[in-house]
């Protein structure tokens, strides 16, 4: 094995200790094959069967069945979200998407890690990708499904969380979970065998084949979950946002990719027009929430910082993309929320390229965005 290539590949998605890497290589797997959920004995629950979700209140791209399942005597991996049956079948639908499943199996992430026993009901927010975007777009929203009657009928459910969430994120998780759920922090190189394993559905998945390019997006989160998440984070952080009036330019000057080559020129131009220039990566979560809750206009390059649109109420968004690639995530989120959203595509080689944004194009984009009407979001879309 080329260890340099292997370690470089790990850095792309998540941090791993030397112990975990060793375990992934030397421990055998404890599953025979990957099978679809239909080939297992399980109980399905659908959010549409409860007051949690009404597809007709949502945009077309937010619709479709949102199904989780409960498995007797199963095993789950909190670092992945993967679930295995008692008979040794790894369930295909328990992985986030096809790509993460393939990589997880290739790298041994579903091998026979040390196991803890749970004689009750266990669930997890486990997810293959671990950056700020994926935690707020894909992992944390899964808590919403814990309020389904199929989960609420149990006196106690333990939610196993691997220890890579930040303190701010853990505070949010503990605040969001219902009263019958206990949060357990666990080492990522661990699996849990439980009397009942709950697979919480990925609310951010494409349930209606809306996209030809992406299997998941923050824009697919249902309206009910978006309202709940925003309002609960406001309550936790004690934010009472004023009428949206702030203008934000989210700079990527501290990033390693996807930067503006003429950053100083762009920042200066926007400052003269009343924009605050903000670097989000070093700001506490509460400050990020407040910024976007009070924002009326946001200019930003495509990046994880725009997932903070989850906390916005009435905003216009100008998103700069490095190339012509179809980056649907924040456009669909804006559409779901009724926010006017415009993308400026540059001529970079790929989505991570550093590019120049001519001031003339920025000015034209801002004027176009100003004239755009908000999308109409009603109870019957």
Please, what is the end-to-end C-alpha distance for the chain in angstroms? Answer: 53
Burial class (CB in 10 A: 0-12, 13-18, 19+), 144: buried
pLDDT given for residue 130 in this prediction: 79
The stretch 46-74 carries a mean pLDDT of 97
Domain boundary among 192, 220, 248: 220
Q: Are 191 and 109 in contact (CB under 8 A)?
A: no
**Same domain, yes or no, for 279 and 169?**
no
Nearest CA among 214, 195, 203 for reference residue 142: 203
pLDDT given for residue 25 in this prediction: 74
pTM above 0.75, yes or no: yes
- The count of domains in the chain is 2
Domain boundary among 173, 189, 220: 220
For residue 164, what are the domain limits?
3-220
In the chain, the percentage of residues whose pLDDT exceeds 90 is 81
**Same domain, yes or no, for 201 and 298?**
no
**Same domain, yes or no, for 72 and 195?**
yes
Q: Which of 11-20, 128-137, 356-365 has the lowest mean pLDDT?
A: 11-20
**Same domain, yes or no, for 191 and 315?**
no
What CATH number is associated with residue 269? 3.40.50
**Same domain, yes or no, for 245 and 148?**
no
Q: Which of 7-16, 145-154, 189-198, 289-298 has the lowest mean pLDDT?
A: 7-16
Average pLDDT, the chain: 92
Would residue 99 count as lying in a domain?
yes
**Same domain, yes or no, for 76 and 16?**
yes
What is the helix, strand, coil percentage profile of the chain, to 5? 35, 20, 40
Query: Which is higher by pLDDT, 243 or 4?
Result: 243
pLDDT given for residue 381 in this prediction: 33
Domain boundary among 150, 185, 220: 220
Burial class (CB in 10 A: 0-12, 13-18, 19+), 318: buried
């Amino acid at each position: 094995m080329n260890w340099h290539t292997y370690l470089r590949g790990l850095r792309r998605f998540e941090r791993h200790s030397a112990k975990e890497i060793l375990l992934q290589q030397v421990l055998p797997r404890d599953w025979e094959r990957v099978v679809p959920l239909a080939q297992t004995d399980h109980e399905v629950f659908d959010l549409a069967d409860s007051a949690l979700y009404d597809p007709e209140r949502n945009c077309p791209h937010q619709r479709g069945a949102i199904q989780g399942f409960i498995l007797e005597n199963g095993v789950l991996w909190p670092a992945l979200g993967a679930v295995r049956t008692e008979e040794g079948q790894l369930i295909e639908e328990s992985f986030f998407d096809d790509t993460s499943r393939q990589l997880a199996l290739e790298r041994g992430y579903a091998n026979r890690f040390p196991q803890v026993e749970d004689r009750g009901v266990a669930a997890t927010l486990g997810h293959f990708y671990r950056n700020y975007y994926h935690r707020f777009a894909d992992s944390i929203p899964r808590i919403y499904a814990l309020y389904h009657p199929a989960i609420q009928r149990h006196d106690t459910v333990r939610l196993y969380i691997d220890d890579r969430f930040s303190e701010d994120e853990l505070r949010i998780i503990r605040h969001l979970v219902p009263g019958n759920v206990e949060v357990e922090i666990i080492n990522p190189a661990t699996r849990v065998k439980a009397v009942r394993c709950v697979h919480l559905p990925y609310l951010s998945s494409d349930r209606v084949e809306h996209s030809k390019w992406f299997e998941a997006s923050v824009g697919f989160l249902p309206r009910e979950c978006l309202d709940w998440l925003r309002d609960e984070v406001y309550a936790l952080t004690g934010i009472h946002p004023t009428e949206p009036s702030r203008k934000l330019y989210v700079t990527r000057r501290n990033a390693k990719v996807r930067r503006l080559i003429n950053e100083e020129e762009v920042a200066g131009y926007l400052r003269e027009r009343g924009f605050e220039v903000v670097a989000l990566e070093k700001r506490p979560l509460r400050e990020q929430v407040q910024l976007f809750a009070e924002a009326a206009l946001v200019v930003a390059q495509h990046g994880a910082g725009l997932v903070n649109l989850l906390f916005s109420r009435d905003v216009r968004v100008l998103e700069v993309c490095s190339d012509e690639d179809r980056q649907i995530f924040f456009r669909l989120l804006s559409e779901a929320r009724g926010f006017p959203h415009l993308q400026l595509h540059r001529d970079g080689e790929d989505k991570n390229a550093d590019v120049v944004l001519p001031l003339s194009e920025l000015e034209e984009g801002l004027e176009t965005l100003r004239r755009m009407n908000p999308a109409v979001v009603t109870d019957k879309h």
